[in-house]
Amino acid sequence: MNQAIPYGRQHITDDDIDAVADVLRGPFLTQGPHINAFETAFAEYIGCRYAVAVANGTAALHLCCMALGVTEGTRVITTPITFSASANCVRYCGGEVYFADIDPDTALLDVNAVRRLIEQHPKGYFAGIIPVDFAGYPVDLTAFRELADEYGLWLLEDSCHSPGGSFVDAQGLAHRCGDGSLAELAIFSFHPVKHIAAGEGGMITTNDEVLYKHLLRLRTHGITNKPGDFTEPYAGEPERGGWYMELQELGYNYRLTDMQAALGTSQLQRVDAMLDRRREIAKRYDDAFAGTNITTIVPPEGVNHAYHLYVIQVDDRKGLYDFLRTRNIMAQVHYIPVHLMPYYRQFGWKPGDLPNAEQYYARCLSLPMFPTLTDEEQTYVIASVLEFCR
């Protein structure tokens, strides 16, 4: 291949461009009607009551931690196999991050490892859990919900990799990632390589009206201009006019622009078709690598993987990575375990603490996975991987 094949790539159509151009010709570039339209459409797609559009997925995580009451000394559990923002959001609020190991069969946070960690400490020691739908594989939130309820914890689902993903619980009920049926809050990302590309952007979903209203305020500096949310007037306060607003708490400017919202809304209209294509690509990879020494993660019946990433595991990961680069195939690694990052090592985390995560990292490689990957390109990728691994 003369042209490089990336591990992920956005797909922008003429309809997307027209949607953004319409905003540029209109009266609002930010804080306009496209924000609410995107939130409404996204909530309907996910199947939740409320959605709050924000600047990016990291901002979404930060605001969720604030709304859930994370402060100095609050202890939260998450997975080491994720982008660092899933942990950093706790640190932004002054909280303490605890990592539990992954299930080697799924690369997801292991609920049994989380239980063991919780049981090593007094009841009330931890406040919440942040499970991650890594690569698009939905976390079994029913098990986490049972554990959270047993110990009085909240759940924040990091669904950045999984819009459109779902699983069926033991009672036969389907749960779409981020639908608010099991976790208090969930978050999504609209980074260019994600399912919905808005340049940057994020979304928080919930079924909790109190959390929803709090998040609306937090994303806009902690300010409200809604009369029903105002505090009582104090003696001598001038008459309140249409200009009046209140800074009620310390928030942030984490708003999304109308241009990004218009692009996101346009992309949302074809997200199912793009998801179907991702699953076709994954099935072709699965079939090609079956019976080889290449480890793949194939979800069981009832789990609808969203395939943000297609991850394989091989013994000579560095060799395969370098070999594919000579073939213009830009495979990538997701992720270096967060607990091994220099920042988190200062808190006592060290190699050997989470062996499943570390073994996964030593062998993992993400192959090209995006809807516009052609059959010819995928055939070339498969042939190259098999040539090295034979």
pLDDT digits (tens, 9 = 90+) for 274-330: 999 999 999 999 999 999 999 999 999 999 999 999 999 999 999 999 999 999 999
SS3 352: coil
Whether 359 and 314 map to the same domain: the answer is: yes
Of 242, 268, 294, which one is at a domain's C-terminal end? 268
Q: Report the alpha-carbon distance of residue 38 to residue 261 in Å, rounded.
A: 6
Q: Report the alpha-carbon distance of residue 19 to residue 224 in Å, rounded.
A: 29
Whether 262 and 291 map to the same domain: the answer is: no
Q: What is the pLDDT of residue 241?
A: 87
Q: How confident is the model at residue 239 (pLDDT cuts 50, 70, 90)?
A: confident
Q: How confident is the model at residue 390 (pLDDT cuts 50, 70, 90)?
A: confident
Length of the chain in terms of residues written? 390
207 contacts 281 by C-beta, under 8 angstroms: no
Here the tokens at position 220 are: 């806009």
The model's pTM is: 0.97
Q: What is the pLDDT of residue 110?
A: 98
For residues 182-195, give the mean pLDDT: 97
pLDDT digits (tens, 9 = 90+) for 330-362: 999 999 999 999 999 999 999 999 999 999 999
Q: Please give the backbone phi and psi of residue 356, each rounded to the nearest 5 degrees, phi first.
A: -65, -45
Q: How many domains does the chain divide into?
A: 2
CATH number of the domain that residue 188 is part of: 3.40.640.10
Give the residue from 250, 253, 260 showing the smallest Cα distance to 219. 253
Whether 166 and 70 map to the same domain: the answer is: yes
Query: For 132, left (φ over 0), alpha (ψ -120 to 50), or beta?
Result: beta
Q: What is the pLDDT of residue 2?
A: 83
Q: How confident is the model at residue 261 (pLDDT cuts 50, 70, 90)?
A: very high
What residues contact residue 209 under an 8 Å CB cut-off, 6+ apart? 49, 50
Whether 377 and 253 map to the same domain: the answer is: no
Whether 264 and 324 map to the same domain: the answer is: no
H or E segment to which residue 103 belongs: none
SS3 72: coil
Strand ranges of the sheet holding 364-367, from the earlier edge strand across to the other edge: 295-296, 310-313, 364-367
For residues 121-128, give the mean pLDDT: 97
Burial 176-215 (b: 16+ CB within 10 A, else e): bbbbbbbbbbbbbbbbebbbbbbbbbbbbbbbbeebbbbb
Range of the domain at 306: 271-389
185, β-bridge pairs:
156
SS3 223: strand
Q: Report the alpha-carbon distance of residue 110 to residue 115 in Å, rounded.
A: 9
Whether 302 and 177 map to the same domain: the answer is: no
Q: What is the pLDDT of residue 250?
A: 97
Torsion of CA 319, 321, 323, 327, to 10 degrees: 180
Whether 281 and 347 map to the same domain: the answer is: yes
Whether 238 and 349 map to the same domain: the answer is: no
Whether 259 and 344 map to the same domain: the answer is: no
pLDDT digits (tens, 9 = 90+) for 11-51: 999 999 999 999 999 999 999 999 999 999 999 999 999 99
CATH number of the domain that residue 367 is part of: 3.90.1150.10
Instruction: Give the chain's mean pLDDT.
Output: 97
Of 268, 288, 315, which one is at a domain's C-terminal end? 268
Q: How confident is the model at residue 138 (pLDDT cuts 50, 70, 90)?
A: very high
Whether 242 and 364 map to the same domain: the answer is: no
The amino acid at 226 = K
Q: Report the alpha-carbon distance of residue 385 to residue 126 in Å, rounded.
A: 43
Whether 19 and 75 map to the same domain: the answer is: yes
Q: How confident is the model at residue 189 (pLDDT cuts 50, 70, 90)?
A: very high
Of 216, 245, 268, which one is at a domain's C-terminal end? 268
Here the tokens at position 154 are: 């909240």
For residues 184-206, give the mean pLDDT: 97
Whether 186 and 62 map to the same domain: the answer is: yes
253, β-bridge pairs:
220
